[in-house]
Amino acid sequence: MEIDSLDKKVLYQLDINSRQSAKEIAKKIGSNKDTVNYRMKRLVEEGYITRFFTRVDVAKFGFNNTKVYFRFQDTDEKKEEEFFEYMDSLPEVAWVTQTSGRWDALLAIWNTSLFSFYNTLSKIMNKFSRNIYEKEIIQNVNWFYYNRKWLLPEEQKIYPVRYGDEPGRERPDKIDFAILRELTENARKPFSEIAKKAKTSPQNVMNRVKSMRKLGVITQHGIDLDYEKFGIVFCKAFIRLHNINQKSLDSIYGFCAREPNVFALTTSVGAWDLELEMEVERVEDMMNIMNRVKRTFPDFVKGYESIVITKEMKLSYVTPSGIR
């Protein structure tokens, strides 16, 4: 299947808000509802769109997001498979990827305190310590997701969504959790179907979703893509900074937000200070982006290293406290 300009326009709109109706998208891209419905259905059936998801800012629930990078030793295919299967079984582990470069695996762990993070990491290390040569722990402070500007380079509109910062005190109830569970699995699911699962009324679902959006709990309805079908490589760069202040940090944020292939940026505490996530056609494209960053901010960027995400094993936009 060939992706044409109309497909890209549909994908671009779904990436911004995947709960938009076909009629709303058609109006924005100068098409008609039936054509948009057909294109969406085809993109799903052909596997270009792998999921319609809803992102949840779990920091509003009081959760921190801590990443752990592992470098393996004395492993074979069976042992690595066992490792990744175990990570998938832990509800507090939100993101698991296989990587190439200095690190072999990356985890993102939801936790409410240093102690809860320590308990999760201890379970992992007790089971696999002899197979882990090195690990790096990185604490996320805040992070941004951007729309995929590479789909329509001529648009170049930036739709940033910010997560993290100071953990909040929101306490959703069981109905909220049920709604979020359904939306994170399928952002386009009708409120009437969600209401049946949550054992409430469609009107109540609509009101609660509206409230959670206002509170910043629900931040975005987007899409996951099959990178292989698009010929895309998923790269991460780890940037070390010095002589940094908020003004210069904001300048770096703005520069990265404008880069068409940068779709996420994280401010971190640990071995490095920023993480950039990029969707590029070649690893060389990532290197070109990083060279531009270094040339633009020579007084602040000390250096960087990078990895390629070769396979995503698990991705959950929710927390272990009932949303899974």
- What pLDDT was estimated at residue 167? 80
- What pLDDT was estimated at residue 268? 95
Average pLDDT over every residue of 202-229: 95
Q: How confident is the model at residue 244 (pLDDT cuts 50, 70, 90)?
A: confident
Q: Are strands 64-72 and 274-280 parallel, antiparallel or unpaired?
A: unpaired
- What pLDDT was estimated at residue 324? 37
Q: Using the predicted structure, report yes or no on whether residue 23 has a pLDDT greater than 90.
A: yes
Average pLDDT over every residue of 173-196: 94
In angstroms, the CA 26 to CA 32 distance is 5
Set out the domains of the chain in order of their start, with CATH numbers.
1-46 (1.10.10.10), 59-140 (3.30.70.920), 142-164+226-308 (3.30.70.920), 171-216 (1.10.10.10)
Percent of the chain scored above 70 by pLDDT?
98
Average pLDDT over every residue of 109-115: 93
Count the Cβ atoms, other than its own, within 10 Å of residue 263.
Answer: 21
Average pLDDT over every residue of 207-229: 95
- What pLDDT was estimated at residue 235? 97
Average pLDDT over every residue of 79-106: 96
Question: Tokens at residue 177, please?
Answer: 């959790």
- What pLDDT was estimated at residue 323? 40
Percent of the chain scored above 90 by pLDDT?
88
Which tens digit of pLDDT belongs to each residue from 248-302?
A: 999 999 999 999 999 999 999 999 999 999 999 999 999 999 999 999 999 999 9
Q: Using the predicted structure, report yes or no on whether residue 153 has a pLDDT greater than 80.
A: yes
Polymer length in residues for the chain: 324
Contact between residue 48 and residue 229 where contact means Cβ atoms under 8 Å apart: yes
Q: Using the predicted structure, report yes or no on whether residue 322 has a pLDDT greater than 60.
A: no
Which tens digit of pLDDT belongs to each residue from 28-66?
A: 999 999 999 999 999 999 999 999 999 999 899 889 999
Average pLDDT over every residue of 111-126: 95
